């Protein structure tokens, strides 16, 4: 067990997420992310001489979406990696628009029933705390 003085309090890292002043301090578990912190969290010191570890960049890994059949239900999820393991990404369309009849939920799911044939080009943004990434995508709605 290592101890660090933080904000005039002693923080003991025991391999679980610790709370100090209501903020998660650290995650150090073989089943969880190794040292990645929420952007609202305090640095995690391991006592191994290494500097505190920071969040990996947020990256949208979905680069294309399948075509959507006209007047049939459509459901796809846009995926991002990195960012905070403690905070889910929120999603929005920042440029263009998704096909008529479809909606983008704040969790990255595009669902609905497309009602107009054509190609929709749009840009989505994923945001986790202070991190964000954007990706240009398109959906082609085909007549059945």
Q: Name the residue ranges covered by the structural domains of the chain.
A: 1-54, 59-142
Q: What local confidence, expressed as pLDDT, does residue 129 receive? A: 84
The one-character DSSP state at 58 is: P
Q: What is the pLDDT of residues 57-93, one digit of tens each?
A: 899 999 999 999 999 999 999 999 988 777 789 999 9
Q: How many residues does the chain have?
A: 144
State which fold the 59-142 domain adopts: Immunoglobulin-like (2.60.40)
Q: What local confidence, expressed as pLDDT, does residue 49 receive? A: 54
Would you say the pTM of this structure is higher than 0.85?
no
User: Quick one: average pLDDT of 99-108?
Assistant: 96
Q: What local confidence, expressed as pLDDT, does residue 55 receive? A: 73
Summary mean pLDDT of the chain: 74
């Amino acid at each position: 067990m290592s101890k660090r003085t933080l904000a005039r309090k002693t923080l003991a890292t025991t391999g679980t997420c610790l709370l100090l002043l209501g903020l998660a301090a650290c995650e150090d578990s073989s089943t969880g992310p190794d040292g990645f912190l929420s952007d609202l969290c305090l640095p995690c010191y391991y006592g191994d001489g290494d500097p505190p570890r920071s969040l990996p960049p947020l990256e949208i890994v979905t680069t294309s979406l399948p075509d959507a059949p006209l007047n049939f239900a459509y459901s796809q999820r846009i995926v991002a990696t990195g960012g905070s393991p403690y905070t889910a990404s929120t999603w929005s369309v920042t440029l263009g628009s998704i096909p008529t009849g479809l909606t983008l939920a704040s969790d990255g799911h595009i669902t609905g029933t497309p009602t107009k044939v054509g190609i929709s080009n749009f840009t989505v943004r994923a945001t986790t705390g202070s991190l964000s990434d954007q990706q240009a995508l398109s959906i082609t709605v085909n007549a059945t």
